[in-house]
Amino acid sequence: MVDRWISEHFTRPSWSVSDAAAVDELETTDPALAAQTLRLMWGLGEGPLPNIVQLCESKGIRVYGLPSVAKVVDAFSGWSDGTPYIFLSRSKTAERSRFDIAHELGHLILHSATVDSGSEAHHRQEEEDADRFAAELLAPASSVADGLPRHPSVDQVLAFRSRFKVSAMMTAKALLRSSRTDNAGYRRLCSALARRGFRTGEPGGMAHHERSRIFTHIFGTGAGAKRTTADRIAADLSLPVEDVHALTFRTQVHAVNAEPTKTGSSGFR
């Protein structure tokens, strides 16, 4: 309902035919290679990704928030009438939210035509594929190899983490994935990071979650914005204003634990 209201009152980018054709090709590709190919298609190079919410919006992907009560779901995604959607909770760190969006983008790219068999093995494989896609999209193995020495120090890991806006623990996994450390080195690094609090949070990480350009424009907080209010949308649709706030990331959520992504069902991943 909110999405339809916005479409009736504002112009937004649409999922392009060229992107749709590319998705058909990438569905059968190794997840890491698919992420590399998407970076190339979208002209992203091998450096840190920009604001990933705005990146998705610019490609015609609709990104919406989840209410704070939806604590068991970090994110989910799906297609409706040829339009891709991502729904995102902000109950975790900003770095974790970036990973969650990249993970859901992986589902949209890799699994848009996949028929869910309902088996646990099938679901687990799709989750692993989306994780691999997200990891490579956010921190390409080539960038890890160029940006970090073998067996780097914790401080070097944290510098890379801050530059690429990913979690420290994800950086540790990226080191292992790109052969910049071995299993023993990975375990030592994870232990050192855990002692500093990185198992349950992201000390010294991003100060804020990344903002939507679409909603900044809609609610009139940026240059050239066309102003409306959550109250007006709620009144037009006979919805609680809190629901509109949640969908448009206007609610304030402060939480820092980092738990594995859980995905929804019922046609959306």
> Phi and psi for 64 in degrees, rounded to 5?
-125, 160
- Give the model's pLDDT for residue 255: 35
**pLDDT, mean of residues 158-168:** 98
Question: How many domains does the chain contain in total?
Answer: 1
Contact indicator for 86, 77 with CB cutoff of 8 Å: yes
Per-residue b or e along 4-25, where b marks 16 or more CB atoms closer than 10 Å to that residue's CB: ebbeeeeebeebeeebeebbee
254 has a pLDDT exceeding 50: no
CATH classification of the domain holding 11: 1.10.10.2910
Which of 80, 79, 77, 16 has its CA nearest to residue 42? Answer: 16
Distance of alpha carbon 23 from alpha carbon 107, whole angstroms: 11
Say if 264 falls within a structural domain: no
Say if 262 falls within a structural domain: no
* Residue 146 CB neighbours (<10 A): 10
SS3 188: helix
Range of the domain at 114: 2-247
261 has a pLDDT exceeding 60: no
22 or 109, higher pLDDT: 109
Say if 110 falls within a structural domain: yes
Say if 242 falls within a structural domain: yes
- Give the model's pLDDT for residue 67: 79
Say if 43 falls within a structural domain: yes
Say if 132 falls within a structural domain: yes
pLDDT digits (tens, 9 = 90+) for 222-251: 555 567 889 999 999 999 999 999 999 864
What does pLDDT average to over the chain?
A: 86
Say if 260 falls within a structural domain: no
Distance of alpha carbon 181 from alpha carbon 184, whole angstroms: 8
Q: What is the pTM of this model?
A: 0.86
* DSSP bridge pairs for 80: 83
pLDDT digits (tens, 9 = 90+) for 115-134: 565 788 888 999 999 999 99
- Give the model's pLDDT for residue 148: 96
At residue 145, what is the residue type? A
> In whole angstroms, what separates CA 168 from the centre of its chain?
16
Which of 33, 173, 152 has its CA nearest to residue 99? Answer: 173
